[in-house]
Structure 1
Amino acid sequence: MSEPVIQLPTPGESMYETLERIIRAGEVVPIELLGGVGAYIAVSHRAAAEVLDDKLFAKHPSKCPALHDGRIPADWPLRALTDAEHMLNQDGAAHRRLRQTINKAFTPARIAALEPRIQQIADDLISAFPDSEEIDLVANYTVPLPVRVICDLFGVPLEAQSQLKDWTLTIVSAHSTGEQTQAAMAAMSGYFVELLAHKRAEPGQDLTSALLRANAANELTEEELIGVLWLVIVAGHETTVHLLGNAVIALRDHPAQLARAQAENRWADVVEEALRYRSSVVGALMRYPLEDVTVAGVDIPAGTPTLWWGGADRDPLLVPNAEVFDIDHEHRDQLVFGRGPHFCLGAPLARLESRIALQTLFTRFPKLTLAVPSTEVEYAVQISTVGPEKLPVRLNPGS
């Protein structure tokens, strides 16, 4: 008797528990997404690398017949992610055209110059921590820091930032209906129309203004500019929010590693190991085989929705003692940010703000501990990312 297909997410089970069951089932595993939609997920390093091969898999929804022939309903909640015509869902020349414009604005120098501002945001948030024995680190630090950084970068005023976060949560939540996700997407797109108009009238030093300057020859339409803003602002904070929470849990579960990071200033290595050991990426947006393909011995029919797990770098065939959190692990050839033409352009920003956020937190509160066992932490039920929904900590235990 065959085992039932694993649901992702599985009701009543944390995403990490579900992923552990998937990993035990093989390198490429058939799964059932929301609404009973069949898909595959690649969880080993070699399988994920094949799914990331643009010669084998496409990203545009036109390559998935089920999205157009009625097998996947029009109100499927994940359509807000699969059907969007932004850069992450484009292939080949169409993708390059979008990417080259944002690359002109999203430069390494601009990201590096953000360090003082990120440090200030981290310091300000910590200074505003409530005066109580126990606080929720998610609400007070790991959410507001990446949200404020990315919104500052794009010139989104403080009063609009909580609304953008709320729309994002609706879009990525596994509890949202198709109607709710579409409404959130429409509302967020409407806001970006207003933001672009404002920055045309009153340009500044922010990345939205830089994007408009880079698009002076109007290579991108208004709809495409909105798609760029949606992608970089949503993806630019959501994964980092969960990366920070996951890293704090891993460090407190491995106090010797935390002590080494503090003593040797190894925070960049902490970030790399957190990316490998406890990835916040469940499944990057769908890919679709261009023809029938065999990946790690598993046949995947052409056009089938296929995901790859960001934690594929935890593969024991790739890293010795892969189940151990160790900042001395080798971190070359990590796939958590993808590879090739679609490599995440926000990777340098995620690494920079995570390093600053963790170093600042544990320098200010070197004895910070979890207020509950790590096994009791509740995780957000989302399809694309995973991290703690709440993270109760004691900042100064025993003081």
Structure 2
Amino acid sequence: MSKPTTEKLPVEFLFSPEFSRDPYTQYGALRERGPVHAVEFIPGTDIPAFLVIDYEHGRAALNDPRLAKGSRHAPAFFHREEVRTNPALAENMLNADPPDHTRLRKLVTKAFTPRRTESLRPRIQEITDGLVDAMEPRGRAELIDDFAFPLPVTVICELLGVPTEDRDDFRRWSSILLTPAFTAEEIRLRDEVNAAIHAYFGAITAARRADPRDDLVSALVTAHDEEDLLSDQELIAALTLLLIAGHETTVNLIGNGMLALLTHPGQLRLLQDRPELIPAAIEEFLRYDGPVERATLRFATEDMEIAGVAVPKGSIVQISLGAAGRDPALVDAPDTLDITRADVRHVAFGHGIHFCLGAPLARLEGLIAFGTLLRRLPGIALDRPVEELGWRSSSIIRGLQALPVRF
């Protein structure tokens, strides 16, 4: 059994502006030293933590039952009041292990079946056309605010049964909850958002009890009230996860994918000429610069090893989905965008029991979004130098702050 490099990566490195701008060059340099790296994830503590950056071991780790998601397996540090996990997200299926994970996932699976997802196609197209109708006469747009965000958030709001006019609140809440809270002010803001979410969904669920509808909120309220399948906290956490995960992935799939095309004009022209390549292009976007850079944390429930590196019981383990997609062992020329690749493999939606439940919906939204944008805005181009674009700071998400375009 081998050891990782003796020098630990400081966690601040993973959240620095330099890293956010170009994580793949940094991952490439790390890969030369090995697939697993020790990280000083909790500065000032001796809690062992590791980052997995290759495809083979990352994919295996995503489905390894020895790497648990439940908070009861987390080091004691995570249970301290000032650093506790987001209460609104703590007890959802993403952060649960079987049998709780099985129970919680089963409650929402029916809403995301391929057949149910496909039935949403006309409505997704209608929303997409309306957004492009509003942008087209202006000749310019900020593609995140004007298109990539309102499209999926409208879809998930309608699926859940929550008012779309509250979407600006959802976006702010999502941004805060996905940003690491290191300072006292950041922790205070996160707790304020959690309180707002509890109040918001508390009112929504109370309204559904009085007036049930054919939506996911009503179904989950029934599971809570009549079938005793959800606790109070699990109900709020499930709704919060569905709202956030239901739009964040697609926002960044569209944003990152369009940026990739706009900075590779040959690939853009090819896709405009051959729209039948859009499904394959989406898989390449997911591999090349996917919407989720690093998976949520896992905790080793026993002494183990990954790629020959000793991982003691109680260790924090995080898998870089983005780095896995750029692994030279996965594809030839991994840093090259090639929308003609056949059978593109990636772990952008995870792997194993925690594979993204909404992946079919995200793919359908992407298919309609890219197809419509390229068909209706053929002259689309960046309206700002790529060097000036900013990236969001997040422990999970890989996404642009803004994407100005002209057409």
TM-score (norm: length of structure 2): 0.88
| Equivalent position of 1:226 in the other structure | 236
1:201-220 aligned at under 5 Å gives the runs: 201-212=210-221, 216-220=226-230
* Paired residue total: 391
For structure 2, list consecutive stretches of 5 or more residues without a partner in the other structure.
none
For structure 1, list consecutive stretches of 5 or more residues without a partner in the other structure.
none
Judged with a 3 Å threshold, the aligned counterparts in structure 2 of structure 1 residues 79 and 251 are, in CA distance, closer, same or farther, namely same
Q: Measure the CA separation in 1 of the matches of 2:25 and 2:163.
A: 40
1:117-196 aligned at under 5 Å gives the runs: 117-129=123-135, 132-174=138-180, 177-196=186-205
* 3-state SS of 1:294 partner: strand
| Equivalent position of 2:81 in the other structure | 74
- Given candidates 285, 288, 291, the residue that maps to 1:280 is 291
Tell me whether 1:370 sits opposite 2:382 in the alignment.
yes
- Given candidates 264, 286, 306, the residue that maps to 1:295 is 306
| Equivalent position of 2:271 in the other structure | 261
Q: Measure the CA separation in 2 of the matches of 1:34 and 1:130.
A: 48
| Equivalent position of 1:5 in the other structure | 9
Q: Measure the CA separation in 1 of the matches of 2:107 and 2:101.
A: 10
Amino acid at match of 1:74: E
* 3-state SS of 1:318 partner: coil
Judged with a 3 Å threshold, the aligned counterparts in structure 2 of structure 1 residues 333 and 392 are, in CA distance, closer, same or farther, namely closer
* 3-state SS of 1:182 partner: helix
Q: Which moved more, 1:32-41 or 1:92-101?
A: 32-41
- Given candidates 108, 114, 139, the residue that maps to 1:108 is 114
Q: Which moved more, 1:202-211 or 1:226-235?
A: 202-211
Amino acid at match of 2:298: R
Shift of residue 16, structure 1, vs aligned partner? 4.5
| Equivalent position of 1:341 in the other structure | 353
Amino acid at match of 1:303: G
Deviation readout 1:339-376 (Å, 9 max, x if unpaired): 22111101001111111111111111111001123233
Shift of residue 83, structure 1, vs aligned partner? 7.0
| Equivalent position of 1:357 in the other structure | 369
Deviation readout 1:297-322 (Å, 9 max, x if unpaired): 32222222211112212211011121
Amino acid at match of 1:159: E
* 3-state SS of 1:315 partner: coil
Q: Measure the CA separation in 1 of the matches of 2:222 and 2:270.
A: 45
Judged with a 3 Å threshold, the aligned counterparts in structure 2 of structure 1 residues 242 and 393 are, in CA distance, closer, same or farther, namely same
Amino acid at match of 2:353: P
| Equivalent position of 1:43 in the other structure | 53
Q: Measure the CA separation in 2 of the matches of 1:368 and 1:332.
A: 26
Q: Measure the CA separation in 2 of the matches of 1:128 and 1:375.
A: 28
Deviation readout 1:121-157 (Å, 9 max, x if unpaired): 1111122228545421111111111111111111111
| Equivalent position of 2:315 in the other structure | 304
Percentage of matched positions with identical amino acids: 36
